[in-house]
Amino acid sequence: MLGSGVEEAAASVVEVGDGPVGDRAAAARVGLDVGKGEHHACALDVAGKRLHDKPLPNDEAKLRALFERLGQHGPVLMVVDQPASIGALPVAVARASGCQVAYLPGLTMRRLADLHPGQAKTDARDVFVIADAARTLPHTLRRVDTGDEALAELEALVGFDDDLAVEATRVRNRIRGLLTQIHPALGRVLGPKTDHPAVLELLSRFGGPQGLRQAGRRRLLTLARKRAPRMGEQLVDDIQAAVEPQTVTLPGTTAPEAVLPRLADSLRTVLDQRKQIATEVEGMLRCQHGRGPDQERDEK
């Protein structure tokens, strides 16, 4: 049950802009990777020193305790990866605790994550990316509060994105499984790059190892360079180096050759939908007021 202060925060009007809320310089930036049962929180000071980095139960008392402890360092800015649905309680508690609240759009977060060391996706890595963006790239943030109408709209979009994320994982794993089954070497080359537009285009057009081998280098290069101007040639080199040495055809190869193009098309559609949702969420937040805090300060 939410406390009265949290209920007031949850009922307030949404404010949106290009950056963190308010005129205060936050002494602690808290990134929150939200989850149904528990979140993962990472807090950094202005110099990048970790003030907190551990799982955090989705509980009002635990959330308040964290915000109060971090508040001893000065003003607190909390940034979430999704402000609706399972992120609604942290946002409301943060607002009720006097914290500034912002949102890091999913597409921006994924791009920033690619710049950080390590390939494994973990809650701890994701939440550090969020906290570090709040510290070093405040212009990537969007201000948000949990107004009822906006929350309902965000919840619908974020819920749909969650469903798409599950579907993308399922199709991605199916593609990797089929490649490993019929041609392990090709699976090692394309498996880690399954989401890349060039890989999806090649699989969609030519299918599996037989289709890629029969396409020939010129056709592969022409297609790959359109989708990956810088890495296209290296991708084709890696594909050919993988498919040429295997001279035997493994049992059950014909059906996967026909299925892989459909799976590639399906994954591409799902990934495009996720990009569209990220754009819609960011656009919805921008359009609530249409001005960032820097513009507002200049007008005062």
- Which of 181, 180, 190 lies closest to 212, judged by CA? 190
Strands 100-103, 142-143: pairing kind? antiparallel
SS3 at position 18: strand
Q: How buried is residue 259: exposed, middle or buried, by Cβ count under 10 Å (0-12/13-18/19+)?
A: middle
Measured in degrees and rounded to the nearest 5, phi and psi for residue 12 equal -75, 170
* Integer Cα distance of 93 and 58 in angstroms: 11
* Integer Cα distance of 133 and 137 in angstroms: 5
Residue 94, number of CB atoms within 10 A of its CB:
28
Give the residue carrying structure tokens 């109408």. Answer: 149
Per-residue pLDDT at 116: 55
Question: What is the tens place of the pLDDT at every residue in 39-54?
Answer: 888 999 888 888 988 8
Question: What is the tens place of the pLDDT at every residue in 153-186?
Answer: 777 787 788 899 899 999 999 999 999 998 999 9
* pLDDT higher than threshold 60 for residue 282: yes
* Integer Cα distance of 152 and 172 in angstroms: 30
* pLDDT higher than threshold 70 for residue 119: no
Give whole-number Cα distances, 75 to 32, 86, 127, in Å.
17, 24, 19
Query: Domains in the chain, start-ordered, CATH in brackets?
Result: 4-146 (3.30.420.10), 165-277 (no CATH)
Alpha-helix residue ranges (DSSP H) falling in the chain: 4-10, 60-71, 88-96, 106-115, 123-136, 148-182, 184-190, 197-206, 209-227, 232-243, 254-287, 293-299
Beta-sheet strand order (sheet of 76-80) = 50-57, 38-45, 28-33, 76-80, 100-103, 142-143
* pLDDT higher than threshold 60 for residue 197: yes
SS3 at position 101: strand
**Helix (H), strand (E) at residue 51:** strand 50-57
- Which of 70, 103, 77, 98 lies closest to 88, judged by CA? 103
Question: What is the tens place of the pLDDT at every residue in 91-118?
Answer: 888 888 888 888 887 666 666 666 555 5
Q: Based on C-alpha coordinates, what's the Rg of the chain?
A: 23
Per-residue pLDDT at 99: 87
* pLDDT higher than threshold 50 for residue 35: yes
* Integer Cα distance of 140 and 132 in angstroms: 11
147 is written with which tokens?
A: 């107004």
- Which of 43, 35, 103 lies closest to 76, judged by CA? 43
What's the predicted TM-score (pTM) here?
0.54
